[in-house]
Amino acid sequence: MAEAVADAKKKKISAWRALGLALSNRKTGFMVLFGFASGLPFALFLGTLFAWLTEAEVDLETMGVFSLIGLAYAFQFLWSPMIDKVNIPVLRRLGRRKQWIVPAQVLLGTILVTMALLEPKTQLGWFSLLAGIGAFASATQDIAINAWRIDVADEEATIDILSTVYQMGYRLSSLVGGAFGLIIAARIGWPETYMMMGAILLAVGFVGLWAPNAAEEAEDVASESELQVRALRKAGELSPAVRGRALALVGLLWAVAIGAVLAFMIMSMTYAPEDRPNPTEFTLTYGPWIIVATIILPALIAGWLASQKRQGRHLLTEDEDPAAGGAYAMDHLYRALVLPLVEFVGRMGWSLVLILAVVLTYRICDAIWGTFAYPFYLGELEYTNDDVAFASKFFGVGAIILGLALGGFMLTTIGRMATLLIGGVLAALTNLLYADMAVGGANMQAFSDAIGFTYMIMQIPEIGDAELAKLTITIGFENLAIGIAGAAYIAWLSSIVSKQFSAVQYALLSSLTLLVGTLGRGALGEMIENQGYYDVFILTTWIGLAAAVLVCFEWYRESRGKAAAGIVAPEVGERFPAE
C-alpha cells in the first residue's frame, strides 16, 4: 500500500515537472504566438470584414471574390504537397517551415494595412482581391504552422502541450479579431482597427524569425527530397513502371479536383453577379467529391502499393540511377503526391480503417452543429443578438480556453488517449443539455438557480436575466467539453502523422471534417425540419458516444502496438515518437 502511494506521488511530481518544463520551453511560447497569428486572419476575413462592408453599404452579392475566402480554408490540403516539399529561394535559410510561415505573416500584415488605406465601396475591386489573396496566405500559413508544431515537438515541449497552447492562441485571436474588433472599430473606426491588426501580424512575422526549427531538420528541403527520390531507386523498392501508373492515376484525380476549384474561382471573379456560383452550394455539391478524389481514392491506391511491397511484388532487384529513363521529375512528383499516403497506409495497415472512423466521428457534432447554432438560439429559443453574443462570444470563448487549459493538464497527468476518451464522452453528453433547452430548459434553469449562476448573470446591466443564465451555462458546459476534446483530438491527430510528411498527412486527415460537415448538414437540416431539435440532439449524443467507443478501440490498438514493439510506457507527460 505504501509503495503504491509512493508511486502515485512520484508520477504526480513527474507530471507537474513535465508540465512546467513544457510551459517554460521557448517552443511553447512561439506556438501560442503562431496559434494567435493563425486565428486572427480567419476572424478578420470571415467575420469582422463583413461587418465593415455592411457599415460601408457594400452589396455583398457583387463581391464574387469574397466567395473564395472560405474556399481557401476548406481546400487548403490541395497545395499542402508544395509546402511540404518546395523551397522558396533565399528564404530557405529560415528553415523548412519558417520559410512559409514568416513570409505569409508578413504578407497578411501588409494586406491588412493596405486594406485599411482603401475605401471599400469605391475601391471594391482591390479590396476584394486583397481579401482573397489574404485568405489563401492565411490558409497556407495554417498548413505550415501545423507542420511546424509536429516537427519541433520533443520530450520536453510535447505534442500534447504544443497542440493545446496552439488552440489557446487561436481561440484568443478569434476573440480579439471578432468581438473586440467590433468594439474597437466602434470607437476608432474600421481603417484604424485593420491597421492595428495588420501591425500585430507584421510584428508576429518579425518575432517568428527567431522561432526554433526541428532539431533533426535537414539542411534544406531540397536535400531531403533528393535523398527520398534516390531511395525510390534502391533495390527492394517498387519498380518505376508501377509507381508511374499510380502517379498518373493520382495525378489525374488531383488535377480534376484542382481544376474544379480553379473553375469556381474564375467564374466567381469574372461572371456577372447574378451568374456567379454559390460558394455554399459548391462546397456542398463538390466538396465531398473533391475529398474522394484527393484522399479516399489515392489512399486506396496507396494501400495497394503498400501491399505489393509487403508481398514482394513489382520490386527492383538492384539499384538504379535516379535519373534513369528520364523519370527523375516523375519521381519527385511521386514523392510529393503519392509517397505521403503510401508511408501512412503502409505504417498503419488495416488500423487505418479505425483511425478514419475516429477522424470522421469524433468531431462530427462540432462540424455540423455550427451551421444550426444561431438558428437554434435566435429562431427556436428566441434569444436576442446581444444575448447570444454574450453567451457564445464572451463567456463561451472563455469556457473553451478554460477547457483547453484543463485538457492540456489532463494530457500531461493522465495521458493522451484517456483525455481523448473523457473529452469525447463529455462532448457527447453536452448534447443532452441542448436537448433539455429544446423542450424548455427546466433542468438547466433549476441547475443554474441552484448554484447561484442565475443570480450572478442577473447582475449584468440591461441584458442579465434568468433566461440568459440558462443559455450561458449551457453554452459554457458545451464549450468546456469542446476545449478538453479539442486539445486531446489535435494532439492525437498530430501524433499519428510522420514528421517526414507532416504537412500533407495532417492537412489530408484534418480536411476529412469537411466531408462530414458537408454530407451531414443537409441530412441534419432535414431532420430538424421533420422532427425538431430535441430528436437531433439525442441522435448526436449517440453519435458522440459511438465515437468514444471507437476511441477505446484505438486506445487498445496503440497500447498493443507499443507492447508488441517492446516500448515501455513512459512517465505521464512524456511522449512516444510520432513516427
pLDDT tens digit string along 24-44? 788 999 999 999 999 999 888
Residue 321 has pLDDT above 80, yes or no: no
Q: What is the CATH number of the domain that holds 522?
A: 1.20.1250.20
> Is 365 in the same domain as 502?
yes
> Is 438 in the same domain as 541?
yes
Query: Is 166 within the bounds of a domain?
Result: yes
Query: Is 185 within the bounds of a domain?
Result: yes
Angle at 499 between CA 497 and CA 505, to 5 degrees: 40
C-alpha to C-alpha distance for 565 and 559, rounded to whole angstroms: 10
pLDDT-derived band of residue 208, with 50, 70 and 90 as boundaries? very high
> Is 34 in the same domain as 152?
yes
For position 144, what pLDDT does the model report? 94
Tell me: the pLDDT tens digits for 117-159?
Answer: 988 878 877 887 888 888 889 999 999 999 999 999 888 888 9
For position 222, what pLDDT does the model report? 53
| First-to-last C-alpha distance (Å) of the chain | 38
Burial letters 393-421, b for 16+ CB under 10 A, else e: bebbbebbbbbbbbbbbbbbbbbbbbbbb
Range with lowest mean pLDDT among 3-7, 56-60, 168-172, 497-501 = 3-7
> Is 172 in the same domain as 253?
no
pTM given for the model: 0.84
Question: In 279-374, which ranges are continuous DSSP H helix?
Answer: 279-291, 297-310, 328-337, 339-348, 351-362, 364-374
Can you give the length of the chain in residues?
A: 579
For position 49, what pLDDT does the model report? 82
Residue 238 has pLDDT above 90, yes or no: no
Higher model confidence: residue 520 or residue 179?
179
The domain boundary residue, chosen from 217, 242, 274: 217
Which three three-digit cell numbers place residue 391? Answer: 453567451
Angle at 403 between CA 398 and CA 408, to 5 degrees: 130
Query: Is 529 within the bounds of a domain?
Result: yes
Which three three-digit cell numbers place residue 241? Answer: 513502371
Give the CB-side neighbour count of residue 8, counting CA atoms within 13 A.
Answer: 5
The domain boundary residue, chosen from 280, 313, 337: 337
pLDDT-derived band of residue 5, with 50, 70 and 90 as boundaries? very low
**400 close to 171: Cβ distance less than 8 angstroms:** yes
DSSP secondary structure string for all residues of 386-445: HHHIIIIIIIHHHHHHHHHHHHHHHHHHT-HHHHHHHHHHHHHHHHHHHHHHHTT-HHHH
Range with lowest mean pLDDT among 106-120, 219-233, 462-476, 528-542 = 219-233
> Is 316 in the same domain as 366?
no
pLDDT-derived band of residue 221, with 50, 70 and 90 as boundaries? low
> Is 201 in the same domain as 234?
no
Query: Is 8 within the bounds of a domain?
Result: no
Residue 288 has pLDDT above 90, yes or no: no
Query: Is 3 within the bounds of a domain?
Result: no
Average pLDDT, the chain: 82
> Is 126 in the same domain as 185?
yes
Range with lowest mean pLDDT among 101-105, 155-159, 267-271, 542-546 = 267-271
For position 112, what pLDDT does the model report? 94
**264 close to 71: Cβ distance less than 8 angstroms:** yes
Query: Is 571 within the bounds of a domain?
Result: no
C-alpha to C-alpha distance for 453 and 468, rounded to whole angstroms: 10
Query: Is 345 within the bounds of a domain?
Result: no
For position 280, what pLDDT does the model report? 67
Tell me: the pLDDT tens digits for 408-458?
Answer: 999 988 999 999 999 999 999 999 999 999 999 999 999 999 999 999 999
Number of domains in the chain: 3
Those residues whose C-beta lies under 8 Å from the C-beta of residue 458, and which sit 6 or more positions away, are 464, 465, 466, 469
> Is 322 in the same domain as 371?
no
Residue 295 has pLDDT above 60, yes or no: yes
pLDDT-derived band of residue 378, with 50, 70 and 90 as boundaries? confident
pLDDT-derived band of residue 209, with 50, 70 and 90 as boundaries? very high
For position 126, what pLDDT does the model report? 82
Higher model confidence: residue 317 or residue 377?
377
Range with lowest mean pLDDT among 104-108, 138-142, 512-516 = 512-516
Residue 73 has pLDDT above 90, yes or no: no
Closest by CA to 361, choosing from 435, 408, 424, is: 424
pLDDT-derived band of residue 2, with 50, 70 and 90 as boundaries? very low
Higher model confidence: residue 578 or residue 469?
469
For position 322, what pLDDT does the model report? 61
> Is 47 in the same domain as 130?
yes
Closest by CA to 80, choosing from 383, 562, 511, 579, is: 511
Which range of 82-96, 307-321, 493-507 scores highest in mean pLDDT? It is 493-507
For position 225, what pLDDT does the model report? 67
> Is 196 in the same domain as 295?
no
C-alpha to C-alpha distance for 252 and 337, rounded to whole angstroms: 11
For position 194, what pLDDT does the model report? 93
Tell me: the pLDDT tens digits for 562-576?
Answer: 776 665 444 344 443
For position 439, what pLDDT does the model report? 92
Percent of the chain at pLDDT exceeding 90 = 32
* Burial class of residue 61 in the structure, from the number of CB atoms within 10 Å of its CB (0-12 exposed, 13-18 middle, 19+ buried): exposed
Which three three-digit cell numbers place residue 259? Answer: 481544376
Which three three-digit cell numbers place residue 353? Answer: 480503417
For position 371, what pLDDT does the model report? 66
Measured in degrees and rounded to the nearest 5, phi and psi for residue 238 equal -65, 145
The domain boundary residue, chosen from 161, 189, 217: 217
> Is 305 in the same domain as 358?
no
For position 570, what pLDDT does the model report? 45
Give the residue numbers spanning the domain of 365.
352-564
> Is 466 in the same domain as 543?
yes
Query: Is 11 within the bounds of a domain?
Result: no
C-alpha to C-alpha distance for 53 and 121, rounded to whole angstroms: 8
Those residues whose C-beta lies under 8 Å from the C-beta of residue 314, and which sit 6 or more positions away, are 238, 239, 241, 242, 308
